[in-house]
Amino acid sequence: MAGPSSTHSGWWYDIPNSELEVIRRGTSEITITSSAVSPSTSDGAALGTASLMWSDLFMASGSVINFNASDVTITHASNALTIESGNLFVGNGFGVIVGSNTQLTTSVSDGASGTTPELQVLGTGSDDSSLMLGNFGTGGTPASLYFLRSRNTAIGSNTIVTDGTSLGSIVFAADDGNDYLTLGAMIRADVDGDPGENDMPGRLEFYTTADDAAAPTERWRISQVGNLTSLAADAANAANVDGGIIATGGIAFTDVANAWIDDASRGSGTVAHYIGNQAITTSSDMRLKTDIEDSMVNATDMLRKFRVVDYSWGENYSPHESYNARGRWMGMIAQEAIEVAPWIINAPGDSKDCWDCRAGLECEKHVNEDGTPQWWFVNYDYLVPTVVKGFQELDVRLREDELILGLAEEKIDALEEAYKILQGRIHELETT
């Protein structure tokens, strides 16, 4: 049977192929077979136009939308759509919001300026508001969350970042009752030094938000060499450790060799350290002292005035049990010794002028932050020069006594000699 003429428009039944065709001016546009309705040539007629659109499209359960002979398919299953054999791209400036048809705005790191992330997972429970990255396999690297930063404004192009460029941040935002711009904490990575090709020094910064603030402040930093630094304004609150601290590399309170506390010697000198107001390093360098003169103090008299006592430790001294296990102790009482040698007494603050502290009584003024009294201490090592001078005084007196004793012995010897002579004379007289 001949085909339709070039002027034919309408339905045409192709008997040999059992196809019903829609003809426009002699050209077949749509073909209907027993199993399909299709354009008569591949990539042919469209279904609807930009101005004439279909209202709805209904697909059967398990149906498949094929692109280019199954290059990419969208397949339906009960309550699920699956895209296979291809990527899903969402254009720049458009988002994917899971769990809601509203895209929410939060804040950049300043806690004020708004930002609207394009990929959001929103929900009312833990399950429907969580994001999981899973990796299943025996090798390779685990699942990761990546932050990439380039200074080029074209996606996929290259311009090197610079020292201080922020590489990415994890931000913890919260509802303050009004909006979602207020931040509670943040972890951020920055370039930490001059970068180059295959050379990217980086640091980690840890931020928390203070009371009455909307934006977090950097508190701790791990530098590109691994130094952990506190940026807390109040150094007293920089680190609170409930457990112990083990510093196998030593500890320094000032970054000079002479200030390190370590199990090996460092530096060539010593920086004074303190426990509270108690110096644990002393110096006898003459360059630290003025008005130096030989001591005029009678050390023997002074030592005689000290009262040395035997005692046991009281219960308000925490190691009293182990200390008392050593037996009775010998020492001096700070409140007594201060009358004899005030420089050997460490009386915190102005407590040496307090009559209650001086008398060893309860004092409301001179207490520590935890309520315990500010105890007085005797620095026994400061007493050593006094003991040395006392020894020297005793030595001088001993030498003087030895001299006197020597003269006395000489006189006794002379007297003994004279006595013998007299005895001889008497004996001569008695025998004549």
Of 119 and 367, CB closest to Zn ion: 367
By CB under 5 A, residue 348 contacts Zn ion: no
Q: What are the two backbone dihedrals, phi and then psi, of residue 202, each rounded to the nearest 5 degrees?
A: -135, 160
Of 120 and 351, CB closest to Zn ion: 351
Which of residues 257, 354, 375, 393 is near Zn ion by CB under 5 A?
A: 354
Contact assessment for residue 358 and residue 342, using Cβ atoms and an 8 Å cutoff: no
By CB under 5 A, residue 352 contacts Zn ion: no
Contact assessment for residue 142 and residue 135, using Cβ atoms and an 8 Å cutoff: yes
By CB under 5 A, residue 375 contacts Zn ion: no
Of 232 and 363, CB closest to Zn ion: 363
Contact assessment for residue 363 and residue 404, using Cβ atoms and an 8 Å cutoff: no
Of 263 and 362, CB closest to Zn ion: 362
Q: What is the CA radius of gyration of the chain?
A: 49
Give the contacts of 137 (CB within 8 A, at least 6 positions apart): none
Which of residues 188, 219, 366, 389 is near Zn ion by CB under 5 A?
A: 366
Of 372 and 423, CB closest to Zn ion: 372
Stretch that binds Zn ion, among 42-50, 110-118, 302-310, 349-357 (CB under 5 A): 349-357
By CB under 5 A, residue 218 contacts Zn ion: no
CB burial readout 209-226, b (16+ within 10 A) else e = beeeebbbebbbbbeeee
By CB under 5 A, residue 373 contacts Zn ion: no
Of 359 and 396, CB closest to Zn ion: 359
User: In whole angstroms, what separates CA 157 from the centre of its chain?
Assistant: 36
Which of residues 73, 356, 375, 377 is near Zn ion by CB under 5 A?
A: 356
Of 262 and 356, CB closest to Zn ion: 356
By CB under 5 A, residue 389 contacts Zn ion: no
- Measured in residues, the chain has a length of 432
By CB under 5 A, residue 338 contacts Zn ion: no
By CB under 5 A, residue 334 contacts Zn ion: no
Size of the site for Zn ion (CB under 5 A): 7
Give the contacts of 14 (CB within 8 A, at least 6 positions apart): 20, 21
Question: What's the min distance (Å) between Cβ of 363 and Zn ion?
Answer: 3
User: In whole angstroms, what separates CA 385 from the centre of its chain?
Assistant: 45
Contact assessment for residue 174 and residue 182, using Cβ atoms and an 8 Å cutoff: yes
By CB under 5 A, residue 363 contacts Zn ion: yes
By CB under 5 A, residue 351 contacts Zn ion: yes
In angstroms, the first-to-last Cα distance of the chain is 199
Stretch that binds Zn ion, among 130-138, 205-213, 343-351, 400-408 (CB under 5 A): 343-351
Question: What's the min distance (Å) between Cβ of 238 and Zn ion?
Answer: 31
How far apart (Å, rounded) are the C-alpha atoms in residues 8 and 5? 5
How far apart (Å, rounded) are the C-alpha atoms in residues 113 and 116? 10
Of 220 and 377, CB closest to Zn ion: 377
In the complex, which residues of this chain contact Zn ion (CB under 5 A)?
A: 351, 354, 356-357, 363, 365-366
